[in-house]
Structure 1
Amino acid sequence: MSTAVATPPATPTVTARKGKLSFPHLLRSEWIKFWSVRSTFWTLAIFLFTVVALVVLITLAIHNAPPESQGGPSDADRSDPLNAFQAAVYLGQFAVAILGALTITGEYTTGMIRTSLTAAPKRLPVLWSKGLVAALSMLAFSLVTVAASAGLQWLFFNGVGIGVDLGNSQQVRALFGTALYIATIGVLAFAFGALMRHSAAAVSTILGLLLVIPIIFAIVPWKPLKYVEPFLPGSAGQSITMTDAQIAQNVAGTVGAHLTAWQGYGVLVAWVVVVLGVAAYLLKRRDA
């Protein structure tokens, strides 16, 4: 008599699929992270309110200023709609700079950067995707802010001769350049954040370059500083926010390089490339 031995059924072998984290996947992930942080909405809201309110208020102040014979602005300055934008952007840019720095330093503060770099061991795609999402988001929001400011200025003050002329290529280029400058400042702050990996250090550095150092260069009577000042990121980049006539008026009687609008913006881009390049090199070399 024989005994039947039950043979256990063969278990099929399941081969785990290796997932590939592509660059579009990284972009989607960074997009979600960028817009899921409350600081993004707060800083962009502050930027929008600051720029729009200041453009309207400064335009109102220029319109109500006394005539030139009584110490007020000249007739050319009074009718130039871009003067209000320059003062508004000078203050509003700091909110975007802070956002750009926090986009990357916030992950180092929370330790989330380790998870990101574990998912993408090559590291640099993480940096590029973060920077691209931040740059496109800040550029789009800057364009909306500039358009809203120009629209309100035209709505309230076009009847008194203060409003952007869309048929004037110089004014249109300056308006687009204003949004481009703001977004690029945000990317520069992002680059310093990637380099320093600390929020306070990155924010202090970018604000120092935009606010403190230009004032020091202006008040210290040392001629070599006058030759360096046109190549500071803020001084050079702001030329793209002005018409050629405004640039010529600003550089009249000054020493050093006289940069055109696109030359000045090229200097600002060079700052971004150098700082971001150093940050990328150190990201590959340092521990997270």
Structure 2
Amino acid sequence: MSATATVPATRAAARPSGAARVTFGRLLRSEWIKLWSLRSTWWVLPITVVAQAGIAWLIAYFGTQEFGEGGIDYTITAADIVGGLQFAQLAICVLAVLAITGEYSTGMIRSTLSTSPTRTPALLAKGLVVVAVAFATGVVATLVSWAVTYPVLGEAHRVDLGLEMNQRILLGAPLYLAAIALLAYAIGALLRHSAGALATVLGLLLVVESVFALIPWTFFEKISPYLPMSAGSQLVFTDNPDAVLGPWEGYGVLVAWGVVLLAAAAVLLRRRDA
């Protein structure tokens, strides 16, 4: 009789009546707060906007000066407006990597995973927040880039928003940054070390892709278009009939890179100690 009375009491102590159940929505809110509590977030995001908008202004200013002096007939496209995207992505990579590796370096990851015993929801919640912030930053950076180049281009070189290609490029810029953030976050979750993850991400995007593009071997020529940046960049390039992948096909390849690596990180997270 006493044993049966003890079990309910123990369960009641283990799960207090007023305790809040951990849901995916609560995990998202927690990860949102943690991301904005990092100092790196507050300097990386402005750098992203300034880098993209600054390069866009330089392209617009010096481009129009050169075309005006040389009498060259050249049409400015939305690709010129988002010309600083390749620099902006580097800052986004830093944010995405530090969002996950920073918790491993401080040991906070143990507290994070303790709230989600299955671990995968915590990983996905943090990744979703990082991707959402990267997308929102890309929207702001694209709008600022448009604003700073608008008075410089003037009526003669102003981008025609009626063209489907220009619409796709302007929409694709924040989508591209979001996919790059997913890729960097997944690599950070796999390696769990800030320096190693950053070196891997930047090496993959800048070094490996450049080397593959330069080596005149058939194997590298076949593989090169399917590397992350080469594939995803098609979304923010002007139409190229000779490209192996179309704009949305290339973007799909970039997203697939991030999804596959994140899935691998989720499997390893359940098997490795925090």
Q: Would the TM-score normalized by the shorter structure come out above 0.5?
A: yes
- The letter for the 2-side match of 1:248 is P
Name the structure 1 match of 2:4: none
* 4+ runs deviating over 6 angstroms: none
TM superposition shift of 1:150: 1.2
Aligned to 1:56: 57
Q: What is the 5 A alignment of 1:119-268?
A: 119-159=115-155, 161-244=156-239, 247-248=240-241, 251=243, 258-268=244-254
Partner of 2:97: 101
**What is the total number of aligned residue pairs between the two structures?**
261
Deviation at 1:162? 2.2
| CA displacement at 1:82 relative to structure 2 | 2.8
Segments of structure 2 that go 5 or more residues without pairing to the other structure are: 1-8
* CA–CA separation in structure 1 for the residues paired with 2:67 and 2:168: 30
Q: In the aligned structure 2, how far is the partner of 1:83 from the partner of 1:60?
A: 15
Alpha-carbon RMSD: 1.9
Matches for 1:19-98 after TM superposition, within 5 Å? 19-65=20-66, 75=73, 78-85=74-81, 87-98=83-94
The alignment partner of 2:127 has SS state of helix
Q: 1:194, 1:138 → 2: CA distance? A: 17
Instruction: Report if aligned partners of 1:54, 1:84 keep a CA contact under 8 Å in 2.
Output: no
For residue 66 of structure 1, report the CA deviation from its aligned partner. Answer: 5.3
The one-letter code sitting in structure 2 at the alignment partner of 1:95 is A
Deviation of residue 168 (structure 1)? 1.8
CA contact (8 A) 1:50 1:88 kept: yes
CA contact (8 A) 2:232 2:251 kept: yes
Choose the corresponding residue for 1:281, options 253, 267, 271: 267
Q: Give the superposition deviation at 1:122.
A: 1.2
Q: Which consecutive unaligned segments of at least 5 residues does structure 1 have?
A: 1-12, 252-257
Report sequence identity in percent.
Answer: 42
What amino acid is aligned across from residue 118 of structure 2 in structure 1?
Answer: K
Larger Rg: 1
Q: Is the 8 A contact 2:229 2:254 kept in 1?
A: yes
Query: Residue 255 of structure 1 aligns with which residue?
Result: none
CA distance in 2, matches of 1:155, 1:116: 48
Q: Provide the C-alpha distance between the structure 1 equivalents of 2:29 and 2:116, rounded to a whole number of angstroms.
A: 14
Counterpart CA distance in 1 for 2:117 and 2:95 is 26
Give the match's secondary structure for 2:30. Answer: helix
Alpha-carbon distance in 1 for matches of 2:179, 2:157: 28
**TM-score, normalised to structure 2's length?**
0.89
Which whole-Å CA distance do the structure 2 matches of 1:46 and 1:88 have between them?
A: 11
The aligned residue for residue 117 of structure 1 is 113
Q: CA deviation at 1:59?
A: 0.9
